[in-house]
Amino acid sequence: MWIAGANLTTYGVEHVPKNEPVIFIANHCSHLDIGVLCRSLPVNLHFIGKKELMWLPIVGWYMFVAGHIFIDRRNKRKAVESLKKAALKIKNGKSVAIYPEGTRSKTGELAEFKKGAFHLALDAGVSIVPVHIKGTHSLWPTQSNKITPGDVTVRVGKPIDSSKYTKRTIKEFVAEAKTAIQEMGKE
C-alpha cells in the first residue's frame, strides 16, 4: 500500500467481531484490494481466490504457503470441495475473505454476486460482514500496469446473520449483502 501511494482511511472497524470467525465480502476493483483488506481489517484473513492466482509470482506463492484457499471456477465439483475446506477453516476459528463478484470489475461498478460465499456462510454457520472499497480502481485499474497514488476508503458494514436464511432463501441473503455494499458506496 505504501509503495502504491495509497492513503487509506477505514470506517466501521467496530463492526468486526473480535471473538468469532466471519466471512468478509467486498467489492473487487483492483489488485490492491487484497492489501487494502489486510490493512483495514483487524483480523488474520484467509482469502478464497481463483486457482490461477497460485501461479502468480510472490502473491500466489505467499497465498499457497499461508494456507489460503484456491477455487477451480471451471470445475464445479472441485469448487465445492474448496468451499468445504474453507468451511472447515472457518469452523476452526479462521475468518475468510471473498470477493463475491468472482473477478475484478473492469469499470469499478459492482457486478452480480456469485452465491458461493453465501452457501459457505450457511454451511459454516457464520455471519457475513459486507465491506465496500472505494478508490482502488482509480489507483490501479484492472487492465492497466500503471499505479497512480491516491485515496482509498474502506467502509465495514454490520454483520449479516446467516441464521436468518436457508438454501431456499439464499437469493435474499445475496440481495441484502449486495444492497449493504451498494449503500456504503454512496457514503
Q: Which domain holds residue 131?
A: 6-186
Per the model's pLDDT, the better-predicted residue between 34 and 62 turns out to be 34
Give mean pLDDT, residues 11-20.
94
Number of compact structural domains in the chain: 1
Q: Say if CB 131 and CB 26 are below 8 A apart.
A: yes
Answer whether residue 141 is part of any domain: yes
Answer whether residue 139 is part of any domain: yes
Question: For 74-109, what is each residue's pLDDT tens digit?
Answer: 777 887 787 788 888 888 888 989 989 876 667 667
What Cα–Cα distance (Å) separates residue 53 from each residue in 29, 49, 119, 172?
Answer: 16, 7, 22, 30
Record the pTM: 0.87
CATH number of residue 125's parent domain = 3.40.1130.10
Answer whether residue 1 is part of any domain: no
